[in-house]
Amino acid sequence: MTKLDRRLHAHRPDLADDRLKGKIDADRFIAGTSARISGPVVDVRSAPRLDAGIDTQFLCGDTVRVFERRDGWAWVQADHDNYVGYVNAASLAGNDVAPTHRVTAQRSFVYPEPELKTPAVAVHSLGAGVSVTEEVENRGTRYALLATGGAMFAGHLQPLDVHDDDYVTVAEAFLHTPYLWGGTSGHGIDCSGLVQLSMRMAGKSVLRDTDMQAESIGMLFEPGESQLRRGDLVFWKGHVAIMLDHELMLHANGNTMTVAREPLKEAIARIERLYGRPTHYRRPA
């Protein structure tokens, strides 16, 4: 049988996605059920344990297919990038209320009512999906009322069918955001999470991890002197950076533990001592 990446295919010896019949061996195959992420940012783990590593995160409004619920955990696969892992089952809701808008600020608060002086009850990341029922104005500030309750500043939201023109501009909004392994939000983000979320806001769906992105995004090329341009991606083993122009790059990194700007030549010299030179250059379509 074919060996499939467990990050992108839901399969275990005892249970598997029924779309994998004939490709892998499992005791039981099921179709799974649809659900939606209801928590602001939800950790996705490699095993149903709190001490298991965080592979990625899902944001409010993301839809998933649930293959198992057990002992407070749910084994799921995301619809937007096919990532598979275990999440807190309490973070899942039904799929009856679909998002209408997406958060465009790096972080945005949810208030119990349309009044910024009230204590916030939650905070959403850029990219989170929320369902807006109507807009109201209070003392000159417009608020979006949410189907799930509460209100958000309307200026931090845009309709789902509206996308940013330049994914790099979105990525730049994350400057100084703390680095977080597996992070995909304005609270903390890693290098490939920065690429994926920024491109998602620009209407482009890409895979999650660096190795996947290095093999799939856009066109592979070998740049000559000064041929790199804004939006190009530079890959190392286990790392990726976004070019701001032909010299300067932006990346979430463990050196500064933030999203930072850095000259490409300096980054290559610094990273080479530990991880070697760049392995791929790719130009998104």
Q: What is the CATH number of the domain that holds 82?
A: 2.30.30.40
pLDDT score of 2: 60
**What is the reported pTM?**
0.96
| Domain end position, chosen among 93, 110, 134 | 93
In a domain, 146, yes or no: yes
In a domain, 6, yes or no: no
Q: Kind and range of the H or E element at 274?
A: helix 264-275
Cβ atoms of 187 and 252 closer than 8 Å: no
In a domain, 265, yes or no: yes
- Please tell me whether residues 133 and 75 are part of one structural domain: no
Handedness of CA 8, 184, 240, 173 (dihedral sign): positive
The total domain count for the chain is 3
Give the Å distances, CA to CA, from 209 to 82, 113, 139: 12, 38, 44
- Please tell me whether residues 113 and 131 are part of one structural domain: yes
Q: Which domain holds residue 145?
A: 101-159
| Domain end position, chosen among 140, 159, 178 | 159
- Please tell me whether residues 190 and 258 are part of one structural domain: yes
CA end-to-end distance (rounded Å), the chain = 34
- Please tell me whether residues 144 and 184 are part of one structural domain: no
- Please tell me whether residues 54 and 79 are part of one structural domain: yes
In a domain, 188, yes or no: yes
- Please tell me whether residues 120 and 44 are part of one structural domain: no
Q: Which tens digits make up the pLDDT trace of 138-155?
A: 999 999 999 999 999 999
Please, is 68 exposed, middle or buried when counting C-beta atoms within 10 Å of its C-beta (0-12, 13-18, 19+)?
A: middle
- Please tell me whether residues 183 and 125 are part of one structural domain: no
Helices (H) and strands (E) in the chain, counts: 4, 25
Q: What is the CATH number of the domain that holds 220?
A: 3.90.1720.10
Pseudo-torsion of CA 232, 213, 55, 177, nearest 10°?
10
Backbone φ and ψ of 82, nearest 5°: 70, 10
- The tens place of each residue's pLDDT in the chain, 285 residues long, gives 568 999 999 999 999 999 999 999 999 999 999 999 999 999 999 999 999 999 999 999 999 999 999 999 999 999 999 999 999 999 999 988 999 999 999 999 999 999 999 999 999 999 999 999 999 999 999 999 999 999 999 999 999 999 999 999 999 999 999 999 999 999 999 999 999 999 999 999 999 999 999 999 999 999 876 799 999 999 999 999 999 999 999 999 999 999 999 999 999 999 999 899 999 999 999
Pairing of strands 29-30, 16-17: parallel
pLDDT score of 10: 98
Q: What is the CATH number of the domain that holds 122?
A: 2.30.30
Q: Which tens digits make up the pLDDT trace of 129-140?
A: 999 999 999 999
- Please tell me whether residues 69 and 136 are part of one structural domain: no
pLDDT score of 225: 63
- Please tell me whether residues 85 and 125 are part of one structural domain: no
**CA-only gyration radius of the chain, Å:** 20
- Please tell me whether residues 173 and 252 are part of one structural domain: yes
In a domain, 3, yes or no: no
Whole-number Å distance between alpha carbons of 126 and 106: 5
- Please tell me whether residues 114 and 178 are part of one structural domain: no
- Please tell me whether residues 80 and 115 are part of one structural domain: no
Please give the full DSSP string across 160-177, using - where no structure is assigned.
TT---S-HHHHHHTTTTP
| Domain end position, chosen among 133, 159, 185 | 159
In a domain, 243, yes or no: yes
In a domain, 9, yes or no: no
